[in-house]
Amino acid sequence: DQQVKQNSPSLSVQEGRISILNCDYTNSMFDYFLWYKKYPAEGPTFLISISSIKDKNEDGRFTVFLNKSAKHLSLHIVPSQPGDSAVYFCAASGENSGYALNFGKGTSLLVTP
């Protein structure tokens, strides 16, 4: 069963605007969440993470928000740039999943000029 869900397979945003990518999870034992970006023919690249003790983490243009009660997290990219066009994966881990990262299916972001 899919414990991490990214319900939007694709998203198109204009350059300079905000991109919001969403992720839901079902396992309440997850306590650490990550976002990875993947370009074609490359492996996933770590982008930003958040621990369950926080509800927000910022790194430059990237901010991740965590709503534990809703089991929902989102990645905000402001402002969006054409180079941000990639597939974004949400991943989660926790005590009962051990060392494994549980990934969503990804959201393909296209930033148009």
Partner 1 sequence: DAGVTQSPTHLIKTRGQQVTLRCSPKSGHDTVSWYQQALGQGPQFIFQYYEEEERQRGNFPDRFSGHQFPNYSSELNVNALLLGDSALYLCASSLASTLGWNEQFFGPGTRLTVL
What are the residues binding partner 1 (CB under 8 A)? Answer: 4, 6, 32, 34, 36, 41-46, 49, 51, 89, 91, 93, 98-106
Nearer Cβ to partner 1 (14/26): 26
Nearer Cβ to partner 1 (2/81): 2
- Min separation Cβ 16 and partner 1, Å: 29
Alpha carbons 15 and 10: distance in angstroms, whole number: 16
- Bridge partners (DSSP) of residue 37 are 45, 88
Pair 46, 33: CB distance under 8 Å = no
Per the listing, tokens 């969503």 go with: 104
Nearer Cβ to partner 1 (42/60): 42
Query: How large is the C-alpha radius of gyration of the chain?
Result: 13
- Min separation Cβ 82 and partner 1, Å: 22
